[in-house]
Amino acid sequence: REEKTAQQIRQEDEFRHGKIDLDKTLKLLGRMQLGFDYIHVKYIFKKTTEQRKVRTINIEDFIAIYRTLAHRNEIQELFFSYSPNHKILTEANLLEFLKKEQFETEATEATASELIMRYEPIEEVKKLNQMTFEGFLRYMCSTDCAIFKQEHKTVYQDMSYSLCDYFISSSHNTYLISDQLIGPSHLWGYSSALLKGCRCLEIDCWDGPQNDPIVYHGHTLTSKITFASVIQVVEKYAFVASDYPIVLSLENHCSPKQQEVMADYLEKILGDKLLTTTIDETVPTELPSPEALKFKILIKNKKVGTLQDTILRRGIDTHGEVVELEEEVDQSEDEEATERKPMPKTPQPKRKTVEKKSSSPPRKKPKVKKIKLALELSDLVIYTKSEKFVSFENQRANQHCYENNSIGELKARKLVKQSANEFILHTARFIARIYPKGTRTNSSNYNPQEFWNVGCQMVALNFQTPGQQMDLQNGKFVDNGGCGYLLKPEFLRDRYSKFNPHSVIGNQNPTMLSIKLISGYQLPPSNLSRSNKADPIVQIEIHGVPEDQVKQQTCVVRNNALCPRWNETFTFTIQVPELALVRFCVEDQISLVSNEFLGQYTLPLLSMNKGYRHVPLYSKLGDRLDPASLFVYIWYY
Ligand SMILES: *[C@@H]1O[C@H](CO)[C@@H](O)[C@H](O)[C@H]1NC(C)=O
Ligand SMILES: *[C@@H]1O[C@H](CO)[C@@H](O)[C@H](O)[C@H]1NC(C)=O
Ligand SMILES: *[C@@H]1O[C@H](CO)[C@@H](O)[C@H](O)[C@H]1NC(C)=O
Ligand SMILES: CC(=O)N[C@H]1CO[C@H](CO)[C@@H](O)[C@@H]1O
């Protein structure tokens, strides 16, 4: 081992003379490769010093604090049941544990040996190919024992199916970072969505001064940013989190003149990344795959004429050419661009009445809207042409594979209720994008699950608004390496699918899932607590087809956020595991009627490891709350 540094000698000296303060305690704990939460350490340190009426602690106190923090009865019980002498695990003991408890069916002695090498901190024990409790604890707290399957952290799905066979991580009004009426617009919205693996971004474009298009939420007081700066940010962060293609969904309100400026910016700033023609310069009968479009940026906008016309025009200068499109405006629908009224005088819209109107639409005569398009911009639309959704029947007869629909949340929900199977037959062939209704001016989100259940590819959410809906979005898309594309299950890709999310019983053998919620560890304290306490309670929710939606909860453990113990087992019958997400939500019971959020974790059922696992927790804003976690035993078949 390397020689002791002067600093280490000084520290040892301070140890012996009982001069360890809180800061040093934290530093020393930091070196022990087990995560420690500042608040918990602080209050345990404080308790020690108060009891002993001192201000700094000595080495024995430090060890006692370490023991208090790292003491995990539940893990020790496990260790004891596989360690005949209650002191060490041999390679064979560890292998038995892996096979019997962790469902690591392919584990061999070499696997066990590797784990010993990686996690056993005591050299002499390691040399004997054995593991102490310290080593076992490090292993149980490591990513090897996390609930999320390691192999799903990389791109493992077949990426060579057509684009419409994937769920695509999509955001709505990406430029907003808070409110839709008065909030600021910010480039940060784009970079952060891209870094989260989002692959479909929305850009709301308007004519700006000096012939320079701008991005903001039209007719509102949201602040403005230039279109060029948005495209620069997109270019910079496009392929940091994922190699797979990006779709820029343009909500275009610009004059043809500024549309040409937009086209210029797109071509100049994005360069080779911009997709400007089909892959082999022929008209496709099917959308290309994410694999074939790697590192490409696609433009989703209205388009004049067909893709064939665009290909024929290649190389011809279309500068200054403007074409007019006619489109029916369905006033009963909650179309983003058409329904948005000018900003009301007070920023409090009468939400109730607006909502009532849209849920029982008055039958008005369809109005025809004329749209002027610059040919230059129109020709940049290749595989993602925006087309009006009329009806499933009409789309089947007339829609081309490269055309796509945006459908408002309300209309989409109605279609899910009335004709879910037809919806699936539609999304099996065409990309459908769902967006929040216009009355969600505070940027609240709808539940994306009901639209995933019918195979909608782009279920756009307001990424800036945390909550259960974004937890589902983030939890679903951690799968497949977080690349933003998830291959839809076969029954949502099949063009003759009989699947209906509302009648799933008897389709296949249901999956039985059992979760034993054993304990919590270093949970965030309640904001009502003046020390490190909380009254934690855990909700386990299943999100999926309606039949599978269920929520169960544990009892409350009083006054313990450091290591609450539940020992409660929950069982679930899941009809469609391919669509199921499991959400663990930890709350603090502040009264009989109200709980306060402490942390959560969401993941796809099929990305869940079996056996003894820990569940990491995330804050409302999506930040990891390390080392806060739950300890569970998972079993499903
Ligand atoms: C936003 O508005 C909806 C009603 O449209 C309401 O249910 C929700 O609680 C609001 N959310 C926030 C964060 O204010
Ligand atoms: C605790 O948080 C809730 C919201 O989560 C808030 O309403 C409440 O005022 C907070 N209490 C304290 C004491 O900070
Ligand atoms: C949980 O189970 C263990 C034994 O497995 C037991 O020692 C402990 O008291 C139980 N705790 C609770 C809160 O039920
Ligand atoms: C007409 C129609 O519904 N098309 C939509 C396709 O997507 C774009 C961008 O998201 C929308 O602006 C269109 O309204």
Question: CB of 63 closer than 6 A to ligand 2?
Answer: no
Number of H helices, E strands in the chain: 21, 23
338 has pLDDT over 50 = no
Per-residue pLDDT reduced to its tens digit, 47-66: 989 988 888 888 888 888 99
- Please report the pLDDT score of residue 365 as a whole number: 58
Give percent of the chain above pLDDT 90: 62
195 touches ligand 2 (CB under 6 Å): no
HEC assignment per residue over 516-549: EEEEEECCCCCCCCCCCCCCEEEEEEEECCHHHC
CA distance 581 to 427: 21
pLDDT range class, residue 342, cuts 50, 70, 90: very low
* 540 CA from centroid of ligand 3 (Å): 20
- Mean pLDDT for 615-620 is 96
Q: Is the pLDDT of residue 180 over 70?
A: no
CA 386, 388, 393, 394 torsion-angle sign: negative
Comparing 424 with 13, which gets the higher pLDDT?
A: 424
Largest CA distance in the chain: 88
Mark whether 217 is an active-site residue.
yes
Q: Is the CB of 406 under 6 A from ligand 4?
A: yes
Residue 543, φ and ψ in degrees, nearest 5: -115, 135
Residue 172 catalytic? yes
Contact 203, 230 (CB under 8 A): yes
Ligand 2 contacts CB of residue 527 (under 6 A): yes
Q: How far is the CA of 74 from the centre of ligand 1 (A)?
A: 41
Q: Which member of 40, 152, 186, 217 is catalytic?
A: 217
Residue pLDDT, tens place only, 107-134:
999 999 999 999 999 999 999 999 999 9
Q: Which residues 6+ apart lie within 8 Å of 476 measured at CB?
A: 167, 448, 452, 486, 581, 602, 604
351 Cβ below 6 A of ligand 1? yes
- Ligand 2 atom nearest to 597, measured from its CA: 5
Cα–Cα distance, 34 to 32 (Å, whole number): 5
63-76: average pLDDT: 90
Of 4-8, 60-64, 75-79, 230-234, the least confident: 4-8
Q: Taking 60 as the threshold, does the pLDDT of residue 350 lie above it?
A: no
Question: For the segment 283-317, what is each residue's pLDDT rounded down to a tens digit?
Answer: 778 889 999 999 999 999 888 878 888 888 877 88
* Cα within 13 Å of Cα(350), Cβ side: 4
The torsion angles phi and psi of 56, rounded to 5 degrees, stand at -125, 160
Give the closest residue (by CA) to ligand 1 atom 5.
Answer: 440
Q: Kindly tell me if the per-residue pLDDT of 328 is higher than 70.
A: no
Question: CB neighbours of 325 closer than 8 A, spacing ≥ 6?
Answer: 302, 304, 370, 371, 372, 373
For residue range 508-519, what is the model confidence (pLDDT) as tens digits?
A: 789 999 999 999
For residue 359, the model assigns a pLDDT of: 45
With the most atoms of ligand 2 within 8 angstroms of its CB, the residue from 596, 597, 620 to mutate is: 596
pLDDT digits (tens, 9 = 90+) for 430-446: 999 999 988 887 889 99
DSSP string computed for 88-125: EEEHHHHHHHHHHTS--TT--HHHHHHHHHHH---HHH
Residue 176's nearest CA partner among 207, 194, 203 is 203
The pLDDT of residue 360 is above 60: no
Q: What is the pLDDT of residues 446-477, one digit of tens each?
A: 999 999 999 999 999 998 889 999 999 999 99
- Grouping H, G, I as helix, E, B as strand and the rest as coil, residue 73 is helix
State whether the Cα torsion 262-263-268-269 is positive or negative: positive
For residue 151, pLDDT beyond 80 = yes
* pLDDT reading at 378 higher than 70: yes
**CA of residue 527 to ligand 2 center, whole Å:** 6
> Which residues neighbour 444 within 8 Å (Cβ) at sequence distance 6 or greater?
436, 462, 465, 467
Kindly write down the DSSP assignment for every residue of 556-624, as one continuous string: --TT-SSS-EEEEEEEEEES-GGG-EEEEEEEEE-SSS-EEEEEEEEEEGGGBPPEEEEEEEE-TTS-E
If you compute the radius of gyration of the chain from its CA atoms, what whole number of angstroms results?
28
Residue 565 CB less than 6 A away from ligand 3? yes
What pLDDT does 181 receive? 52
Asked if 614 and 146 count as a contact pair (C-beta separation under 8 A), the reply is yes
Q: Ligand 4 centroid vs 252 CA: distance in angstroms? A: 9
- Nearest-CA residue for ligand 2 atom 14 is 527
Token code pair at residue 288: 């290309």
Q: What is the mean pLDDT of residues 203-229?
A: 85
Looking at residue 298, its amino acid is L
Query: Where in 421-535 does DSSP place strands (E)?
Result: 432-435, 458-459, 485-487, 511-521
Phi, psi of 285 (to 5 degrees): -100, -10
Query: Is a pLDDT exceeding 50 seen at residue 345?
Result: no
Q: Which atom of ligand 2 is nearest to the CA of 526?
A: 1
Residues 430 and 440: their CA atoms lie apart, in Å, by 27
More confident residue, 350 or 116: 116
Do the beta carbons of residue 155 and residue 241 sit within 8 Å? Answer: no
Where in 360-417 does DSSP place strands (E)?
A: 367-374, 385-386, 403-408
Measured in degrees and rounded to the nearest 5, phi and psi for residue 242 equal: -160, 145
Q: Are 299 and 248 within 8 A, CB to CB?
A: yes
Instruction: Output the pLDDT for position 346.
Output: 42
First-to-last alpha carbon distance for the chain, in angstroms, is 48
| Mean of all residue pLDDT scores within the chain | 87
Q: What local confidence, expressed as pLDDT, does residue 348 receive?
A: 43
pLDDT at 392: 81
* pLDDT (0 to 100) of residue 222: 65
Range name among 132-136, 197-201, 333-337 with the lowest pLDDT average: 333-337
Q: Which residue has the higher pLDDT, 551 or 68?
A: 551
Q: What is the mean pLDDT of residues 17-31?
A: 85
Do 614 and 510 meet the contact criterion of CB atoms below 8 Å apart? no
Res 331 pLDDT > 60: no
Q: Report the pLDDT value the prediction gives residue 356, as an integer from 0 to 100.
A: 39
Please check the confidence at residue 411 and state whether its pLDDT lies above 80: yes
Binding site membership of 567 for ligand 3 (Cβ less than 6 Å): yes
Of 57-66, 206-215, 559-568, the poorest mean pLDDT is in 57-66
Sequence-distant (6+) residues with CB within 8 A of 377 are 252, 259, 260, 262, 263, 266, 299, 301
Residue 454 near residue 427, CB atoms below 8 Å: yes
Domains of the chain, CATH where assigned: 2-70 (1.10.238), 73-145 (1.10.238.10), 163-328+367-493 (3.20.20.190), 511-636 (2.60.40.150)
* Interatomic CA distance for residues 245 and 200, integer angstroms: 9
Q: Which of 90-99, 295-304, 368-377, 524-533 has the highest mean pLDDT?
A: 90-99
CB-ligand 2 contact for 394 (6 Å cutoff): no
Rounded Cα gap, residues 410 and 408, in angstroms: 6
CB 591 within 8 A of CB 537: no
User: What's the pLDDT tens digit per position in 481-509?
Assistant: 999 999 999 999 999 999 999 999 877 78
The pLDDT value given to residue 399: 75
Please tell me the number of Cα atoms within 13 Å of 149 on its side-chain side.
19
